[in-house]
Amino acid sequence: MRIEPKKIMCAIDFSDFTDTVLTYGKTLANEFNSKLCLCHVVSGSFMVASHISPYADYAGIEAEQARQAQDKLAKLGKDFHLDCEIMVGSGYPAEEIAQLARENDVDMVIAATYGGSGVKRFLIGSVTDRLVKILSCPLLVLNPSTQDLNSLSLPEKKIEFKKILVGCDFSEGSQLAFDYALGLAQEFQTKLYLAHVVRPADQTGLSSSESINARQDGYPAWNMADYLELKENTKIWEHQKKKSLFKKLENQLLSKLPKDCKNWCTPIITILKGHPYKELITYAQQEEVDMIVLGIHGHNLLETFLVGSTTDRIISRAPCPVLAVRTLVDASLQDKRDEILKEVKKDHIITARDIMETNVIKVSPDTDIISAAKILMENHINGVPVVDANDTLQGILCQSDLIYQQKKVSIPPVFSMLDSILPLSSSKQFDDEFKKIAAINVDEAMVKNPVTAHLDMPISIIASLMVEKHFHTIPVVDQNKLVGVIGKEDVLKVLISA
């Protein structure tokens, strides 16, 4: 059954590849006579300097960013000569895009992914990775890191689809992917490659260097010639069995095609053997395919985290865009899912007050260094807030501050001229360093005026501060009073559970 998307959404993040996403959206919308939507999500991640008031108007900042995004999207639509609908949301980008797509009956979403590595990717994650797991409609993923898309971003440029590859494993999700691929092939008059990958079977056998030459219970002995003959016969049988299997698979793939398909596309059947993601990527490279279409199955909790490893790997390595097609969810289940998401959305921004530890271990400025070190070690914490008798934050003492105790004193370089000695570096820097090394109490070793979080600071800002500034512990204050602390472990627990 041929499927045609009636409404296509371009997820826009105003990156360098925004024009490429729009070019694909424009091409598909024109070909299918579809309505085009431009969508941007204000994520709520506002990087602020540590000296800015902890009571900044985040709602006002978000509203201003939404207005600016609306203007930018309108300009993009005008530059690309698009008659398009503009959508601006706020919250977690992937969840917001998925919800906007459902609420507006979007049939396909186009987005770009950029990969990433290290702690920052673990903390912040990939919007596209998340969309693959939760989006209920097909997602066309462009990957600039593996695909040459630089020449495809002019407003007047039209994408040409000449070769489309669809992975077929005869599942329900695979059938839906095939239907979408069929629609694209018919619309663009392309070559349509139907590929099925046979996974390698585990094989066991005797080494050819071994000769069975045992005599038991009167049975005749086997020599090397007998063994080699048996092995050769087995190879012939396996080859015939493989040939028969491949022929059946080819016939099954051919049966999926409409009888008149050769009037508007060129079907090509191929059976591959190996690991699916490797074989499909290699085949796509060899045939210079313009798009890969894959099906994703189910919508269970495990899949939410481990969805389609084959699909994920192909998306991250494919030499061309990948259309990931999910099996449609039962309407009643989808309605229930939407209700849950709406409840989550009411309080979608997690703040410091939600994750902070309120049972705070703290010390006073006059605590001696040895006692402070024992507190850190015994409680397995990286830093401890320093407060006065009224719980007003004075500073923070970290393990790195205590390590200064073992540091050698660096004598500042000097220049001698006419019996005068002129220092070549700041004497204040030397004084501060010496005080830390010689410190006998917390007041002399702590970091004063540390970066703090307020109760309503979003977790996205806290995570960014930890990554960008290499903070392990951030105190939470209210009216300069210490009310809690947040460590990296607190942030990770929330992000993993989310």
Token pair recorded at residue 156: 């007047």
Listed range (15-24, 207-216, 294-303, 322-331) with the worst mean pLDDT: 207-216
Backbone angles phi and psi of 167, in degrees to 5: -85, 125
How much is the pLDDT for 191? 94
* 446-472 residues labelled b (16+ CB within 10 A) or e (exposed): beeebebbbbbbbbbbbbbbbbeeebe
- pLDDT band of 227, cuts 50, 70, 90: low
Could you report the per-residue pLDDT of 438-491, keeping only the tens digit for each? 557 888 888 888 888 888 888 877 887 787 677 788 999 988 899 999 988 888
Structure-token match 């494993």, residue found: 169
Taking 80 as the threshold, does the pLDDT of residue 32 lie above it?
Answer: yes
Could you report the per-residue pLDDT of 344-353, keeping only the tens digit for each? 444 456 788 8
pTM over 0.85: no
- pLDDT band of 26, cuts 50, 70, 90: very high
* 46-65 residues labelled b (16+ CB within 10 A) or e (exposed): beeeeeeebeeebeeebeeb
The average pLDDT across 211-216 equals 41
How much is the pLDDT for 122? 37
Taking 90 as the threshold, does the pLDDT of residue 164 lie above it?
Answer: yes
Q: What is the distance between the alpha carbons of residues 169 and 146, in angstroms, rounded to a whole number?
A: 25
The residues near 324 (Cβ < 8 Å, ≥ 6 apart) are 132, 138, 139, 140, 141, 294, 296, 308, 311, 315
Answer for the pair 308, 174: CB distance below 8 angstroms, yes or no. Answer: no
Q: What is the distance between the alpha carbons of residues 126 and 183, in angstroms, rounded to a whole number?
A: 29
How much is the pLDDT for 409? 44
Helix ranges restricted to H, 189-330:
224-255, 276-287, 301-306, 309-317
Residue 151 Cα distances to 25, 148, 157, angstroms: 15, 8, 9
- pLDDT band of 218, cuts 50, 70, 90: very low
How much is the pLDDT for 15? 85
Higher-confidence residue: 121 or 155? 155
Taking 70 as the threshold, does the pLDDT of residue 5 lie above it?
Answer: yes
Q: What is the distance between the alpha carbons of residues 26 and 250, in angstroms, rounded to a whole number?
A: 35
How much is the pLDDT for 201? 57
Q: What is the distance between the alpha carbons of residues 35 and 9, in angstroms, rounded to a whole number?
A: 9
The average pLDDT across 383-403 equals 86
How much is the pLDDT for 50? 42
The average pLDDT across 251-261 equals 87
Sign of the dihedral defined by the CA atoms of residues 494, 489, 124, 396, in that order: positive
The average pLDDT across 84-111 equals 91
Q: How many residues does the chain have?
A: 498
Select from 179, 183, 196 the least CA-distant residue to 268: 196
- pLDDT band of 71, cuts 50, 70, 90: very high
* All domains in the chain, ordered by first residue: 7-202+231-346 (3.40.50.12370), 352-497 (3.10.580.10)
Higher-confidence residue: 444 or 204? 444
- pLDDT band of 224, cuts 50, 70, 90: low
| DSSP-assigned beta bridge partners for residue 383 | 398
Q: What is the distance between the alpha carbons of residues 64 and 77, in angstroms, rounded to a whole number?
A: 20
Number of Cβ within 10 Å of residue 369's Cβ equals: 17
How much is the pLDDT for 120? 38
- pLDDT band of 245, cuts 50, 70, 90: confident
**How high is the mean pLDDT of the chain?**
76
Taking 70 as the threshold, does the pLDDT of residue 36 lie above it?
Answer: yes
How much is the pLDDT for 11? 94
Could you report the per-residue pLDDT of 476-491, keeping only the tens digit for each? 998 889 999 998 888 8
The average pLDDT across 307-318 equals 75
Q: What is the distance between the alpha carbons of residues 228 and 232, in angstroms, rounded to a whole number?
A: 6
How much is the pLDDT for 110? 95
How much is the pLDDT for 471? 79
